[in-house]
Structure 1
Amino acid sequence: MPQPTHPAARFPWRVLLLGWTLATLLVLAGCDEASTEPSGTGFAGLGESGAGFMQASAETRLRFPADHGAHPDYRIEWWYLTANLEDAAGEPLGLQWTLFRQALAPPSARPAPTPWATDQLWMAHMAVSRGEQHAVAERFARSHSTAPSRPMNHQAGALAFPFRAWLDDWELASAVTEPGGDTFERLTLTAFDGGGDKRFGYRLMLTAEGPLVRHGRQGFSQKSADGQGSHYYSQPFWRIEGEVTLAGENHAVSGRGWLDREWSSQLLSPDQAGWDWFSLHLDDGHRLMAFRLRGGGADGGDYRSGSWIAPDGTTRPLDSRELALTALATSPVAGREMPTRWRLEVPEQGLDLLVEAPHTERWMDTTVPYWEGEVVARDHDGGERLGVGYLEMTGY
């Protein structure tokens, strides 16, 4: 693995990249300054037309391990891990690690590969949460999809085999080296930021205890009544062990994780302002993914979808008629009211959950800000604890 350069040597590129990334995001959002107001191109520009790019569709079948790697002919993509962990004393911890890729131009309009040419922007987020503590960091990088140098030497990227997704020394990589082995069977995750008593991060081993899950129609997840959507699969069966550092202190941890993979060229319809997304590990072995996109429904309301996942990985898609998401209470977060207490119902499974964030200050104060944090699921009527998970909310 290439060694990261000294931060001082990288500083001019970081300044340029930040400017390029902000400019790109603002252009995509169709506004002159950062805003979460509806812009006619959806949240963060994700409803802008993807003309010229490859389009996600239900006719495309997912292929593994190839689809673990990057898809530069699509406009947007991410590798998204969340985890609910406990330390040796049973104290809960949460973590997030995400690598985002965005293409700057469709394949036919890409610049020729030169040392200065860029057609892909990369952004990575990491967070560690424990009680009232919530540490967040963000990094940027650039690359060219057809640069002559070996991809493994780029500042950021994602390779299918052996699987590796990285930005600088933040890295999610396969621990499987046997020829023909399942590269997603075991992964390692390493990411640290800060120094001294502000240092935080993690070094973890992820072991899959169940299969990959394809959402929607064999991996095509529709996001609006107009048909926009993404290729979307998850590994919701991670067992995680390792070490987390927070405020300069190390904690041995173990628990469960959820990795999402999505790529698209137009994820949303233009009138969708953001989403509320849940991933839940239930104590009986079931998993549940559910989201509400605000706007984009056939009747002009919200668009809902989800997946009910059995302990053996058998997956049942859920549409708007089979899934109800109701915000019950809000909390003041970062100068806005965030819905941090929800009712989540899947009547066919006899599921009626109260899903609540035990700690509401989980604001990701990043270039495109959002809320991301741990939640606890309880029986709505009896209050019995039924599981844990993560909630993401954008566009507020």
Structure 2
Amino acid sequence: MIVKLSMFLMLFPFMAVAQGFAGLGQDAEGFDVPFKGHTLTFPKDHGAHPGFRIEWWYVTANLSDDTGSQYGVQWTLFRSALRPLRQSGWQDPTVWMGHTALTTPEHHFFGERLARGGIGQAGVTPAPFSAWIDEWQLQGPTFQDLSMTAATEEFSYNLQLTSQDPLILHGENGYSVKSEQGQASYYYAQPAYQVRGTLNLPAGPIAVTGTAWLDREWSSQPLSADQTGWDWFSLSFNDGTRLMAFQLRGEKFDFISGTWITEKGETTPLKSNEILLTPLATTVVSEREIPTQWSLSVPEHQVDVTISAINREAWMETSFPYWEGPVNVTGNRTGVGYLEMTGYE
């Protein structure tokens, strides 16, 4: 979702925080910008949007083995345009970045890849769908039937993702506002994949099943100048309902938004005053104090839950560091999900 944008700081070293977190409040002159009323088109919009500055394909999976042990997997491909030019070959101004992680209750493994555009090292095609950076791949005949692979020296995985559920358009038909000043992105998701496959850990292979959530988002100026970080939640409840919520932390106030998703895939946008988020406990991770347990409530939809990290040390020590890992949900609804947090110093 929007909150995946932090990783682009490494690609824009000249941008200051005063321009918005990781430079994402920088002026979008020369780039395309989202506008209200635009209609997303599929499968075209599963592919890349070179007129926009930033975009990503982002999968998080909650998995378990036959003993009930829990695991989390992250697969991400980011695209960043360094200039508002559409050229090919070695003149292509695109930079690609891949992140992957595998989380257990005891360990958190991660990897990173970087690639330049225009030479085939990384890219995305909409139909048949294929997203790749080197040998890391997310691909399939359609967006509803995908294989997902990645490997590092410590771990690898090969997972199959399938879903017959509808795509979810966040915000107003995919137009997702991110600040009081009106910055926005195009944002949709497939939150209802069923997953089956194998994790290869240092101790050996493990067969797993579970669920996965895929986020798609693109923009050119998604944040305001004073937004300093964010907390993003994707929650799948055992009764079939789902919730996406994010909090963009500003110097003066926080901007909160989300989407309520019924078991049939029907959506209701949630405004800031409809979501209550409170940190309950923190953990010192990489010399930073990170909230690893939260209270979240949405009274209109009878949600009053506690969100707890499965592994409180799920720190991504990548080119731009952040916290991301699987969570358990308890309270008047139970389930699993993922939490991402950026901007904690």
Say whether residues 1:190 and 2:164 are aligned partners. no
Q: Distance in 2 between matches of 1:118 and 1:27?
A: 20
Larger strand fraction of residues: 2
Q: Distance in 2 between matches of 1:138 and 1:188?
A: 19
Say whether residues 1:337 and 2:289 are aligned partners. yes
Question: Which residue of structure 1 lines up, in the alignment, with residue 78 of structure 2?
Answer: 100
Instruction: Check conservation: 1:141, 1:156, Cα contact below 8 A.
Output: yes
Larger radius of gyration: 1
Higher relative contact order (CA 8 A, sep 6+): 2
Instruction: Check conservation: 1:88, 1:251, Cα contact below 8 A.
Output: no
Question: Which residue of structure 2 lines up, in the alignment, with residue 391 of structure 1?
Answer: 339
Measured at CA, do residues 322 and 274 of structure 1 come closer, stay the same or move farther in structure 2, by a change above 3 Å?
Answer: same
Instruction: Check conservation: 1:85, 1:93, Cα contact below 8 A.
Output: yes
Question: Which residue of structure 2 lines up, in the alignment, with residue 34 of structure 1?
Answer: none
Say whether residues 1:121 and 2:99 are aligned partners. no
Per the normalisation by structure 1, the TM-score is 0.82
Match of 1:222 among 173, 177, 193: 177
Question: Which residue of structure 1 lines up, in the alignment, with residue 235 of structure 2?
Answer: 280
Question: Which residue of structure 2 lines up, in the alignment, with residue 15 of structure 1?
Answer: none
Match of 1:361 among 286, 291, 313: 313
User: Residues 36-90 of structure 1: CA distance to partner in whole angstroms, max 9, x if unpaired?
Assistant: xxx2122221111111100012221110000000001100000000010001221
> What SS does structure 2 have at the residue aligned with 1:27?
coil
Which consecutive residues of structure 1, in runs of 5 or more, have no partner in the other structure? 1-20, 31-38, 145-152, 177-182
Question: Which residue of structure 2 lines up, in the alignment, with residue 292 of structure 1?
Answer: 247
- Count how many residue pairs are aligned between Structure 1 and Structure 2: 337
Instruction: Check conservation: 2:144, 2:163, Cα contact below 8 A.
Output: yes
Deviation at 1:248, TM superposition (A): 5.2
Q: Which runs of 4+ in 1 moved over 4 A?
A: none
Q: Distance in 1 between matches of 2:147 and 2:297?
A: 35
Match of 1:68 among 46, 58, 68: 46
Question: Which residue of structure 2 lines up, in the alignment, with residue 147 of structure 1?
Answer: none
Counterpart mapping for 1:1-396 below 5 A: 24-28=11-15, 30=16, 39-107=17-85, 113-114=88-89, 116-144=90-118, 154-174=120-140, 176=141, 183-194=142-153, 198=154, 200-247=155-202, 249-295=204-250, 300-379=252-331, 386-396=334-344
- Give the counterpart letter for 1:255 in structure 2: G
Question: Which residue of structure 2 lines up, in the alignment, with residue 12 of structure 1?
Answer: none
> What SS does structure 1 have at the residue aligned with 2:150?
strand
Deviation at 1:22, TM superposition (A): 7.5
Q: Distance in 1 between matches of 2:66 and 2:309?
A: 22
Per the normalisation by structure 2, the TM-score is 0.94
Which consecutive residues of structure 2, in runs of 5 or more, have no partner in the other structure? 1-7
Instruction: Check conservation: 1:209, 1:239, Cα contact below 8 A.
Output: no
Deviation at 1:113, TM superposition (A): 3.8
> What SS does structure 1 have at the residue aligned with 2:12?
helix
| Cα RMSD, aligned residues only | 1.5
- Give the counterpart letter for 1:368 in structure 2: F
Percent sequence identity over aligned pairs? 51
